[in-house]
Amino acid sequence: MSGFRSFLLRGNVVDLAVGIVVGAAFGTLVQAFVRDLLTPLIAAIGGRPDFSALSFTLNRSVFRYGDFVDAVIAFVIVAAVVYYLVVVPYMALRARFEPPPQPVAPTKRCPECLSEIAVAARRCAFCTAEQAVDAA
């Protein structure tokens, strides 16, 4: 029983559970935003908020392509909302607090063991072979 308890109380299991709950709540929030605010706005501009009634019949089979059009529109709107309200601000915040990348020191190959060593090295750190120092 103690192993099960330690498994449940590990940080990543709790973090995953919290992430799933917050993700589900955020999904509901975004769907409500799209359904209650953006779709009526599109209907006010385009004149038709619901395409589910669109269909055609071929050999007595009904193809309801309007449902698919509704799903595609909803997906594009949700993806745009998530991108512009979550991803873009998150990336901007992350870029603000990340340290600048460190410059990469120039290297050369050791002629004996073919390891990467610093250009200014007088000996190879891997095989200890003497290196010719460039007079630059």
**Stretch 51-64: mean pLDDT:** 84
Alpha helices by DSSP H, the chain: 2-8, 11-33, 39-46, 65-82, 88-97
- The span from the first CA to the last CA of the chain, in angstroms, equals 67
Q: What is the reported pTM?
A: 0.48
**pLDDT (0 to 100) of residue 88:** 92
pLDDT digits (tens, 9 = 90+) for 29-48: 877 877 777 767 777 776 76
Domain extent listing, the chain: 2-97, 105-136
**What pLDDT sits at residue 135?**
55
Who has greater pLDDT, 49 or 87? 87
Give me the CATH topology for the region 2-97. 1.10.1200
